[in-house]
């Protein structure tokens, strides 16, 4: 039987993290990895029973570029449909 309270005490390694890691981030110990879990129905990742956020949002520039490409694609589609139907000359 697993002693969950003991694993929670040992969840982080005592070694210092790499200097390039953000301040406050700690490495997980080998016993601490047992606190990671996955819901097989949803494939969501959990740490000690709490869902981990794994989403990544686009930055403003990336969002702007996506909108510009979408608008350009729609305009080109309209032009090609117009040419195909004869409404727009080649």
User: What's this model's pTM, rounded to 2 decimal places?
Assistant: 0.52
pLDDT in tens, 19-42: 999 999 999 999 999 999 999 999
CA proximity to 38, closest of 55, 25, 54: 54
Strands of the sheet with 36-39, listed across from one edge? 36-39, 44-47, 50-51
Q: Strand (E) positions, the chain?
A: 36-39, 44-47, 50-51
Mean pLDDT is highest, among 67-71, 77-81, 83-87, for 67-71
CA proximity to 34, closest of 14, 21, 23, 49: 49
Q: What is the DSSP letter of 86?
A: T
């Amino acid at each position: 039987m697993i002693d969950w309270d003991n694993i929670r005490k040992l969840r982080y390694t005592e070694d210092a993290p790499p200097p390039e890691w953000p301040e406050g981030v700690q490495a997980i110990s080998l016993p601490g990895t047992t606190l990671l879990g996955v819901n097989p129905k949803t494939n969501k990742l959990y740490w000690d029973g709490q869902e981990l956020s794994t989403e990544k949002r686009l930055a403003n520039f990336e969002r702007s570029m996506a909108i510009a490409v979408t608008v350009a694609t729609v305009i080109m589609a309209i032009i090609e449909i117009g040419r195909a139907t004869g409404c727009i000359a080649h």
